[in-house]
A and B are shown apart, each in its own frame.
Chain A
């Protein structure tokens, strides 16, 4: 076991290697490791967030579907009501219109029959006067016997 200058050479080589590792090796590797750790942590956090978000979205979707269903039922009810209303309205309108037309027809019939009777009466009276004129020739004056003639006409 002899100690000699080899000792310094070995020590220097060792120191040089340690220096190189400290300067150019270790920091890069540690940086890479730490960055990867950060990335993994971020990835895990993002996954958790996404999961929570998904759950929230699911809840929201379910809620919306429920609301939509309720609204659909509401709309259906309203539509049915409206249809019923429309039908009822149309029915009443039609009935009243029918009644109105019936009444109008009746009144027209009445007035027509009154007018026809009147005309007929006048014609009968004129006919009676003409007949009486023909029979009596001049004895009967239309103006002097007018009251008589009118009475006759109303009696027919």
Chain B
């Protein structure tokens, strides 16, 4: 079910193989260091981004205020949902927040959804065409999640400066969250404020990225572990007949549960981004 019948693999090899990226390092036997590229993550993210942009822009270009088609209806449902969420959270006017939020939701959801494919399907297909490693869930790669969360982080800073002006933006580094009336106290509290602010700012991209990465990595790993149940199975052995049904039940249950996680993680990433951007625009 999950293995190529040719060479009997050890469980550790199987799992290790599944956790290796298609990177220059893994293919090339030399260490490019920081210049290493996870081609599988890049490829799947790019393909999904292309799909998302293509569908979304196509619908947007053909959007009619008359009777909408089914696809337009579906997209509009998500758009209205995100728009409502943004309007609830952020009371100003912003052209940036809502489109950014829907992009996050769409991309993260689609990338997460690659987890729904059978864990061996695409790696097996890739293996058949000579590609040694392939990880299909781009969000289970911290590079992807950090790439997104750091972009969000930069946008938060840009948004804050844009809304408050440079003076107030950097002034708040020293004067919030602890406020003081007298100048002496202000100076005394400035280091604490600065420290808290730096921690606060640093924690946001970190938590955004690690939460998504952790969930997706764990989910993928559990799929791999479920797949291991019938690794090297033979029709003659009793364990195959015991573990086969167990694998089916476990795989089914985890897949169903994972639908929830996939959506939830995409939603959380989006919502927190909206919240962070709203906070950045607020005066403290």
Interface residues of A (CB under 8 A from B): 1-18, 20-22, 24-33, 35-36, 39
Contact = CB atoms under 8 A, between A and B. Distances in A.
9 contacts: A4-B32, A13-B45, A17-B107, A18-B103, A22-B95, A22-B100, A24-B57, A29-B59, A32-B76
B53 A9 contact: no
Which of A1, A21, A31, A35 has the largest number of chain B CB atoms within 10 A?
A21
Interface stretch (B8-16, B112-120, B147-155, B244-252): B147-155
Given A5-B36, A21-B99, A10 B148 contact: yes
Contacts of B231: none
Contacts of A15: 151
Contact of B79 (A9, A16, A17, A29): A29
Nearest to A4: B36
Contacts of A25: 53, 56-57, 59-60, 99
Interface residues of B, number: 50
Contacts of B42: 6, 9-10, 13
A29 B58 CA distance: 10
B172 interface: no
B228 interface: no
Interface in B38-89: 38, 41-42, 45-46, 49, 52-53, 56-57, 59-61, 63-66, 68, 72, 75-76, 79-80, 83
Contacts of B53: 17, 20-21, 25
Contacts of B144: 6-7, 10
B31 to A, nearest CB: 10
A30 B32 CA distance: 46
Interface stretch (B135-143, B218-226, B235-243): B135-143
B100 A18 contact: yes
